[in-house]
Chain A
């Protein structure tokens, strides 16, 4: 019984660990359609049936409302399948931080606190932070 609860708990923590994981990205730019001059874009990949996407969206909108240098955009991953595949979007919500120059600087998988996104925008590390190049 204890082992069963332990296995379920470990499985839960493994899943939780993947949520809100911030990956610093470099060497990848995005098309002009998805960038805004002078602003950092929070580009959220979402799907129609994704409840966590709806949970995350108001947090990102709030960040964009509070910061004049940030814009929020949501993209349906199914409707933009080619883009999602080219960017390696495997699950929703996945949020990309796109610099004014169109460079993808970070990728956040799943739902995370607003602070995690603000840190990613400002290039500050969060607790769930790793650096890769794609």
Chain B
């Protein structure tokens, strides 16, 4: 059995779709919180904390071990045609980190009393997730590329890890 060497690029996009919907709900729930005292039991606050935790899961476990990634691999991927190519999980994993930084910043500023930060952070994260889900534009991956081209890979690219694999060259999911 061959070792998995790349991920189906549609997996992260599937995850981004779920995240975008959750963040849109989060924006809707947190807009009202901007003009109120800090309430750490408010549904909007709790939702953004949960979304932030999901981003952190993606960072620590990698996108392949993220619940959305696992769901995609088990239930969605078998229904689809083989992808044209596989990609390194490094970019999408880094994107999870960007999402985490943005949302946790909003959460921490909200706790500190800057209540407007929560919907702003949710909105910023939503735009990035929406661009990935609807247009296939991974903003976090682009940021990762800027670093990677300078040799900074944050330990996400292990020696020998292929960045992209064409199906036909090596077939592994």
A residues whose Cβ falls under 8 Å from a Cβ of B: 1, 4-5, 7-9, 11-13, 15-16, 47-51, 53-55, 57-58, 78
> Between A and B, how many residue pairs show CB distances below 8 Å?
71
B85, B91, B127: the one within 8 Å of A54 (CB): B85
Determine whether the beta carbon of A50 is less than 8 Å from that of B145: yes
Interface of B is mostly: helix
Are B130 and A5 neighbours in the complex by a CB distance under 8 Å? Answer: yes
B166 engages A54 (CB within 8 Å): yes
Cβ B149 vs Cβ A58 within 8 A: no
For B18-30 the 0/1 string (1 means CB < 8 A from A) is 0000001001100
Whose C-beta in chain A lies nearest to the C-beta of B127? A8
Q: Is the beta-carbon distance between A58 and B145 smaller than 8 angstroms?
A: no
Interface window among B38-46, B59-67, B134-142:
B134-142
Cα(A58)–Cα(B84), bound, Å: 8
Complex contact B130–A47 (CB within 8 A): no
Instruction: Check B164–A53 contact: CB distance below 8 A.
Output: yes
Can you give 10 contacting A-B residue pairs, CB < 8 Å?
A5-B24, A5-B130, A11-B127, A47-B145, A49-B91, A51-B88, A51-B91, A54-B166, A55-B9, A57-B166
Closest chain B residue to A61, Cβ basis? B166
A49-B91, A51-B141, A54-B164 in contact; A12/B24 too (CB < 8 A)? no
| B 144-173 binary contact with A (CB < 8 Å = 1; else 0) | 110011000000000000011110100000
What count of chain B residues pass the 8 Å CB interface test? 29
Beta-carbon contact of A15 and B9 below 8 Å: no
* Bound Cα distance A49, B85 (Å): 13
B163 to chain A: which residues have CB within 8 Å? Answer: 48-51, 54
Bound CA span A58–B127, Å: 31
Identify B149's interface contact among A4, A8, A57, A78, CB under 8 A: A78
B88 proximity list for chain A (CB < 8 A): 49, 51
Q: Tell me the smallest distance from the CB of A19 to a CB of chain B, in Å.
A: 9
B85 contacts A7, C-beta separation under 8 Å: no
- Residues of A within 8 Å of B47, CB to CB, are none
Residues of B within 8 A of A47 (CB): 145, 149
Contact of B130 among A8, A48, A53, A57 (CB under 8 A): A8
Other A-B pairs, 8, CB within 8 Å; known A15-B135, A47-B145:
A7-B127, A8-B126, A12-B130, A47-B149, A51-B88, A55-B85, A58-B166, A78-B149
